[in-house]
A and B are shown apart, each in its own frame.
Chain A
Amino acid sequence: MLTNYFKIAIAVLKRRKFFTFISLFGISFSLTILMVLTSVSDHLVSSSYPDVNRDRNLYSLQLMLSAPARQGQNTGPYSYHFLQTYVAPMKTPEAVAISSFFSPSNTYVNNRKLVINIKYTNAGFWEVMQFNFLEGKAYSQAQIDAGERVAVITESTRDKYFGQGVTAVGKMLETDNQQYRVIGVVKSVPVTQLFAYGDMYMPWTLSRQEQENKGYNGTYLAVMMARNKTDIPAMKAEFDNIMKRVPMPYKDFTEMKAFTQSYLPTFTRLLLGRDETDGTAKLYTYMGIFLLFFLLLPTLNLVNLNLSRILERASEIGVRKAFGASSGTLVVQFIVENIILTLIGGLIGIVLSLIVIALINQAELFSHVYLTLNYTVLGISLVICILFGCISGVYPAWRMSRMQISKALKTV
């Protein structure tokens, strides 16, 4: 039966080449865009270098202080002092990474300006983030405490500053008129790594401004890594309990909220969040609306195309019914045919996606971001194809199946 459907589907494809081209183009183009976007989202959300333990990490990057009486609110990252005092001593995490948002610094190499993004960290940062060291190693707690002017740089910073592939460990790097001794070189990090990206990593004690900041807000964020996934609820409970006991920094503030969540809600809170809500629901709603509209165009195109083919296929419908096909069987046949067509469109879409992703990677649109069409993305695409086939096939199939046999046989 399926072979028969497949033969018919291919024949229908061949019969009206221009319409087939338009319809396959619509499907494959839409799927390509969806697959590339899914690949980007997957890259943003899934565990990837160097933040490879996302499934057992909790992230916290915003502290909200409110003074309802004055209608005032202060929301922003933490100070190092706050995180060191309240978060670092937590018992449940295996390690706590504290690091600043990156800040740009200027340096000159061969009279050419080079912007180096600096990230200040604690020692736990190197435990939580699994960096790949090409040379040397990370700074120790002792070096941090001693305020040693040491730095870990990325491969790309090394290549730009010292020269392609030149050994950097032990050499001095000057930026913003300060000299630092390079003690390690790591594989470069994509800019999309919100909690790990930087060109140069230094002990937090080298940030004079932060050493003096005893307030609650600053430029720092924390990543707590549990020993295993099952510890996450306990880790969150411990964090929330601690936050309840933190005294208000000033008497005007009467309310304090510190959020700690897994990666996705933390990320969406930053983009779409507001007060209590983390923005995940909003993100899914926006994605749903986008997906609906994006799929609606090729779906309607396919529905229209299928409807216009009803007359063309009237004789076949009549014959099939005359020889024993029920309306239900015909609906299944037309939906299967449609799914076959959309799967062909999907295959073209996958090939196109691979090309587009290769082009994006080659063009380095985002620094050190390497997109891949992984199994998750392939799976999602396959589901989208089948969904596509069903949605665009149901109504035309229903119309076709309801044709009266004697009328269908007359339309030749």
Chain B
Amino acid sequence: MIQLHQIEKVYRTDTVETQALNGINLAVAKGEFLSIMGPSGCGKSTLLNIMGLLDEPSGGQISIAGSDTRNLGDKQMAHFRNQRIGFIFQSYHLINDLRVLDNVELPLLYRKSAAKERRELAAEALGKVGLSNRMKHFPTQLSGGQKQRVAIARAIVGRPSIILADEPTGNLDSAMGNEVMDILLRLNKEDGTTIVMVTHDEQMARKTHRLVRLFDGAQVQ
């Protein structure tokens, strides 16, 4: 599903050059639930961002569902993300000015779909994460666990084949973390969604199909 070949990422300032990723080769199969672990600053999130086309690699090649992403323009890249990838972030990144339902239907705004259909799909996604009763709330009125469930609903509303989750349980206590993890596992099992998750939590990582460890920008396991 996702093929990374010799991925390099170098951050440059006027005086310093930092090698964040160094020749990463990784293949994620369709329907796989992969977790990435490693110490802080080892390049986990950078790798996830590159996989999700949120950041450009300094070198190497990314192929998603058989498509080489190197030559995609801004518009094509946006379309690609919209159709194929859903994101879950550690700090949720919900838009506080919009109600929960509006937040969830956001990815559908960038597709050709009628308002009614958008509402129905968003409500259905919220139902899957058990938040049907919070549709009219604003994100600031929710707990951390609820916010992350809204973020999951937003990630799945467009029925993407890939979900990239960057420390989705990082800001949650263990009970809420487990709840979120259960939802992700269910999505993977029932819908066959390919999931790549960055985590610091060994226990969560063990629940996934495969674990990849990074150290100083290189893959060590």
Residues of A within 8 A of B (CB): 1, 3-4, 7-8, 11-12, 15, 315-316, 318-329, 404-406, 409, 412
CB pair B74 A7 closer than 8 Å: no
Distance, CA A316 to CA B115, complexed state (A):
21
B145 touches A (CB below 8 Å): no
Distance, CA A318 to CA B82, complexed state (A):
13
Which residues of A lie under 8 Å from residue B86 when comparing CB positions?
323
CB pair A324 B110 closer than 8 Å: yes
Given A3, A328, A329, A412, which contacts B91 in the complex, CB threshold below 8 Å? A412
Which residues of B lie under 8 Å from residue A319 when comparing CB positions?
93-95, 106
Nearest-neighbour CB distance to chain A for B52, whole angstroms, equals 7
Distance, CA A328 to CA B93, complexed state (A):
21
Which residues of A lie under 8 Å from residue B98 when comparing CB positions?
4, 7-8, 11
Which residues of A lie under 8 Å from residue B115 when comparing CB positions?
3
Contacts A11-B97, A322-B81 given; does A4 touch B102 at CB 8 Å: yes
CB pair A329 B78 closer than 8 Å: yes
B109 touches A (CB below 8 Å): yes
Which residues of B lie under 8 Å from residue A324 when comparing CB positions?
78-79, 81-83, 107, 110-111, 158
B33 touches A (CB below 8 Å): no
Minimal Cβ-Cβ distance residue in A for B73:
A326
CB pair A322 B54 closer than 8 Å: yes
CB pair B110 A325 closer than 8 Å: yes
CB pair A7 B97 closer than 8 Å: yes
Minimal Cβ-Cβ distance residue in B for A323:
B107
Minimal Cβ-Cβ distance residue in B for A328:
B75
Given A1, A406, A412, which contacts B109 in the complex, CB threshold below 8 Å? A1
Given A12, A320, A326, A329, which contacts B97 in the complex, CB threshold below 8 Å? A12
Which residues of B lie under 8 Å from residue A1 when comparing CB positions?
109
Minimal Cβ-Cβ distance residue in B for A315:
B93
Which residues of B lie under 8 Å from residue A326 when comparing CB positions?
74-75, 77-79, 110
Query: Using a Cβ cutoff of 8 Å, how many contacts connect chains A and B?
Result: 78
Nearest-neighbour CB distance to chain A for B83, whole angstroms, equals 8
Minimal Cβ-Cβ distance residue in A for B151:
A319
B191 touches A (CB below 8 Å): no
Which residues of A lie under 8 Å from residue B110 when comparing CB positions?
323-326, 329
Which residues of A lie under 8 Å from residue B74 when comparing CB positions?
326-328
Which residues of B lie under 8 Å from residue A404 when comparing CB positions?
55
Task: Name B105-138 residues within 8 Å CB distance of A.
Answer: 106-107, 109-111, 115
Residues of B within 8 A of A (CB): 46, 49, 52, 54-55, 74-75, 77-79, 81-83, 86-87, 89, 91, 93-95, 97-98, 102, 106-107, 109-111, 115, 154, 158
Given B49, B75, B94, B106, which contacts A320 in the complex, CB threshold below 8 Å? B106
Given A316, A322, A329, A405, which contacts B95 in the complex, CB threshold below 8 Å? A316
Distance, CA A8 to CA B106, complexed state (A):
12
- From DSSP, what is the main secondary structure of chain A's interface residues? helix
Distance, CA A387 to CA B143, complexed state (A):
43
Minimal Cβ-Cβ distance residue in B for A333:
B109
Minimal Cβ-Cβ distance residue in B for A319:
B93
Which residues of B lie under 8 Å from residue A329 when comparing CB positions?
78, 110
Minimal Cβ-Cβ distance residue in A for B45:
A406
Minimal Cβ-Cβ distance residue in A for B105:
A4
Max chain B CB contacts within 10 Å: which of A3, A8, A326, A412? A326
Distance, CA A409 to CA B74, complexed state (A):
18
Nearest-neighbour CB distance to chain B for A16, whole angstroms, equals 12
Contacts A328-B75, A329-B78 given; does A323 touch B87 at CB 8 Å: yes
Contacts A323-B154, A324-B110 given; does A412 touch B93 at CB 8 Å: yes
Nearest-neighbour CB distance to chain B for A8, whole angstroms, equals 6
Some 28 contacts from A to B, beta carbons below 8 A apart, are A3-B115, A4-B98, A4-B106, A7-B97, A7-B98, A7-B102, A8-B97, A8-B98, A11-B98, A315-B93, A316-B95, A319-B93, A322-B54, A322-B87, A323-B81, A323-B106, A323-B110, A323-B154, A323-B158, A324-B78, A324-B79, A325-B110, A327-B74, A327-B78, A328-B74, A404-B55, A405-B55, A409-B54
Contacts A323-B87, A406-B49 given; does A15 touch B97 at CB 8 Å: yes
Distance, CA A272 to CA B153, complexed state (A):
67
Distance, CA A1 to CA B83, complexed state (A):
18
Contacts A3-B115, A4-B98, A11-B98 given; does A322 touch B109 at CB 8 Å: no
Nearest-neighbour CB distance to chain A for B130, whole angstroms, equals 22
Minimal Cβ-Cβ distance residue in B for A316:
B95
Distance, CA A323 to CA B75, complexed state (A):
12
Given B46, B52, B79, which contacts A322 in the complex, CB threshold below 8 Å? B52
Minimal Cβ-Cβ distance residue in A for B81:
A324
Nearest-neighbour CB distance to chain B for A405, whole angstroms, equals 4
Nearest-neighbour CB distance to chain B for A321, whole angstroms, equals 7
CB pair A318 B93 closer than 8 Å: yes
Distance, CA A323 to CA B87, complexed state (A):
8
Which residues of B lie under 8 Å from residue A15 when comparing CB positions?
97
Minimal Cβ-Cβ distance residue in B for A8:
B97
Which residues of A lie under 8 Å from residue B54 when comparing CB positions?
318, 321-322, 405-406, 409
Which residues of A lie under 8 Å from residue B102 when comparing CB positions?
4, 7
Which residues of B lie under 8 Å from residue A11 when comparing CB positions?
97-98
Minimal Cβ-Cβ distance residue in A for B87:
A322
Minimal Cβ-Cβ distance residue in A for B111:
A324
Minimal Cβ-Cβ distance residue in B for A1:
B109
